[in-house]
Structure 1
Amino acid sequence: MEQAVELLYHKDILKEFLARYHLDSEHTLLGDFENYVYEVMREDQSFILRVTHSSHRSEEEIIGELEWVTFLQHNGANVPTVYFSSKGNWIEKQVAEDNSVFYACLFSKVKGKSVRSRDELFQDKLFASWGRETGKIHRITNRYLPTNGMRKHWHEDDLFRVELYVPDEPLVIERTKEIRTQLKELPQEDYGLIHNDVHNGNFFYDGKEIHIFDFDDACYFWHVSDIAIPLYYSCTSLFPNEGDQEEKSRFANKFITSFMEGYMDEMSPPKDWMELLSLFLKVRDVTLYAALNKKIAPENRNVKILRWMDQIKHRIEQCISIVTINQ
């Protein structure tokens, strides 16, 4: 979380949000990179409370997310339930000292458990389920017509304006502009509202199906991004060093074969998805590099983060993607 937001956020804000949703005072912080995310309780039942600062999302954007997630849930997708506060609101608000706003919303805790990339379950069966649920969300969303709120189109995302966060890295800025140009030249086909962050940290697995959560990055973008991102983060976690590219490529081919078999159980694959994978893997490098520079102050970057950022920067500057698919 940015330091400016941390200075505004204090325990009384959280205490008030807990009260407005009739939640117990006990809470566990699960994450604080872009939002403050807590596991909370009410009468021995677990929920997920998310607190968002207005510098990250507007109220209208959050409403757009919650409306879409509710539509998905009502139409059979494995996603959280959105709950109302004691006042009957999806979103509760508190004004900070500088007149900015903190927003809170409450979700169910989805079924299953987390699966790490080194776990035994991280195999073909899981990859197929991963693709199947992603395809299901794309299929259901083809019938979705928003009525309240909004979600941004990709080009409105500040993470594509990397010059805001690395003004002294001209080659990164130039490469990002080139990628933006390539995206703008793509046909508006297989394009729509997508999750845009379906990595294994954002779902639980019940042994048969995955249950996806954290729709905070949802935006209008090409469907192939939801294929590239699972591949990207799987390779990132399994191959943290830029060593054995051949081994990484073998894994990537295995992963994408199972993932797409599952995807095609629910949805026809995006046109030219294989050819577009490399571009969208590069897109993730750009947006992640911007996010890391935006969210983590230089003095808070440990050796692991610095090495990771150097790897991403190198790929951006050299116009290469994290892995090559050889199918």
Structure 2
Amino acid sequence: MRLEQLALVSAGSSLFLNGGGEVKAYIAQWLGLNENRIKPTIGGYQNHVYKVEHEGKPRIIRLRPQSQRTKKEIKEELTFIRLLNEHSVNAAAPVLLNGTFIHELRIEDKVYHAVLFERAPGTLMRVLDKSWNDDFFRKWGAYIGSMHLVSDQMKSETLHRRKRTVREPDPENILSKLPEEFRAWTSENLKQFTQTPTSKETYGFIHHDFHQGNLFVDRDSFTAFDFDDAMMDWKMYDLAVTFYHAIWQGKSFRPEEKGLPKRLYEGLLNGYVSVHPLTDEMVSQMEPALAIRDAFLYPVFSEKWTMTDWQKTFLADMENRLRDGIPYIEEKEYK
């Protein structure tokens, strides 16, 4: 399909693009770029994500189906990113385009909300690099704590995004996506996790998907991105997600480091407490939060993975944990 065969009609921040073809072609037409200059990234579970060069600068374009995220919800995400940057906590910022940050793209029979973001400086952290050490873990934890200090400015009562609460411990509908045999363990951990009283120290607007794939490192500077899942929740969930994925990668790439879980745990928490309060009740939430992350990822991986040998093995281990009530990692390994 030739780009000139596309019809483009602009209506404020809404763009109506007609014609067959891939999403890349529509983005090229919208931004006035050569389609070859639009490169797909790994992206997210529900999003189309591409790298582009726009007006001579590296950018990221994210398309989210309108049916899955309202404009108000995206505005709240972008407000949080703005607050972070205003408080010197680096986060990949949205780019103003034609007077707005959020654009509505109608592509064939679907409607998307599109946002253009600055591309974060630096690279993904290198697990095999010598810089992946105790000092790095502390800085990582301090960055999370700094984010959580800013999150207190997001007021729960005015937000439209999902919230985890005692009354609604499963806003992501994890239980409904799991086989029946996995639900008892997950339900138990959701209940345990939400027993911690909410306070300024324990609860707030958090990233909610803060693994190392959503963080770039440039020397000693961290920049987070992909706040699409941000919501009100207990703050320990961000630390648990970080720990979950760091342990996974660390054990995979550095299996000889037997003390790595303990060093990671202590580094992250020591860094966190250097800038943000960390109560005993928050610390007690780590184990149930890890189990919740396990349960959240199981249906995602079951659907998205191509089932290579290592993926089959990892998924089988998840099934054993969820069925038999086995922790993601035993506390004695990291405490």
Normalized against structure 2, the TM-score is what?
Answer: 0.82
- Determine whether 1:45 maps to 2:54: no
In structure 2, what is the Cα distance between the partners aligned to 1:149 and 1:19?
34
1:38 aligned counterpart, secondary structure: strand
> In structure 1, what residue type is equivalent to 2:318?
I
Q: Structure 1, residues 97-151: CA drift from partner, whole Å, max 9, x if none?
A: 44x4212101111222211322322112221121111000101121334898632
Aligned to 2:297: 288
Aligned 1:52-201 pairs, distance under 5 A: 52-86=64-98, 88-98=99-109, 100-145=110-155, 150-154=160-164, 155=168, 159-164=172-177, 166=178, 169-189=179-199, 190-201=202-213
Moved more, 184-193 or 220-229: 184-193
What's the secondary structure of 1:102's corresponding residue?
strand
Shift of 1:68: 1.2
* Rounded Cα–Cα distance in structure 2 between residues aligned with 1:47 and 1:317: 43
| One-letter amino acid of the structure 1 residue matched with residue 38 of structure 2 | H
- The 3 A distance-change label for structure 1 pair 172 and 216 is same
Which structure has more RCO (C-alpha within 8 Å, separation ≥ 6)? 1
| Aligned position for 1:255 | 264
Give CA-to-partner distance per residue, 1:53-90, whole Å, 9 cap, x none. Answer: 2344333322221121112112211111211222x221
SS at 1:82 equivalent: coil
Give the CA deviation at 1:202. Answer: 1.1
- The one-letter amino acid of 1:176's match is T
Amino acid at match of 1:135: G
**What residue is the counterpart of 2:42 in the other structure?**
31
Q: Larger deviation: 102-111 or 176-185?
A: 176-185
Q: CA deviation at 1:156?
A: 7.7
Change (3 A) 1:89 1:15: farther
Q: Give 1:272 deviation, angstroms.
A: 2.2
Q: CA deviation at 1:21?
A: 4.6
Matching residue's letter, 1:77:
V
Query: Quick one: which amino acid aligns to residue 174 of structure 2?
Result: R
Question: 2 CA distance for matches of 1:176 and 1:85?
Answer: 43
Task: Give TM-score, length-normalised by structure 1.
Answer: 0.83
Corresponding pairs, count: 307
Local SS of the residue matching 2:50: strand
Give the equivalent residue in structure 1 for 2:328: 322
Letter in 1 for 2:151: T
Q: Aligned partners of 1:81 and 1:239: how far apart in 2?
A: 33
Residue 202 of structure 1 pairs with residue 214 of structure 2: yes
- In structure 1, runs of 5+ residues without a counterpart are 1-8
User: 1:180 is matched by which residue type in structure 2?
Assistant: L
Classify 1:291/1:315 alpha carbon distance in 2 versus 1 (closer, same or farther; 3 Å).
Answer: same
Conservation of the 8 A alpha-carbon contact between 1:64 and 1:146: no
Quote how far apart the aligned CAs of 1:152 are: 0.9
Q: CA RMSD of the aligned region, Å?
A: 2.8
CA contact (8 A) 2:154 2:205 kept: no
Residues 182, 146 of structure 1: alpha-carbon distance in 2 compared, 3 angstrom cutoff: closer
Distance 1:107 1:267 in 2: 28
Range that drifts further, 265-274 or 186-195: 265-274
Q: Aligned pair in 2 of structure 1 residues 202, 247: CA closer, same or farther (>3 Å)?
A: same
Q: Give the AA of the match of 1:85.
A: L
Identity fraction in percent: 23
Partner of 1:239: 251
CA shift, 1:259, in A, is 1.5
User: Within 2, Cα distance between the matches of 1:198 and 1:290?
Assistant: 19
Counterpart code for 2:261: A
Q: Which residue does the alignment assign to 1:4?
A: none
What is aligned with 1:3? Answer: none
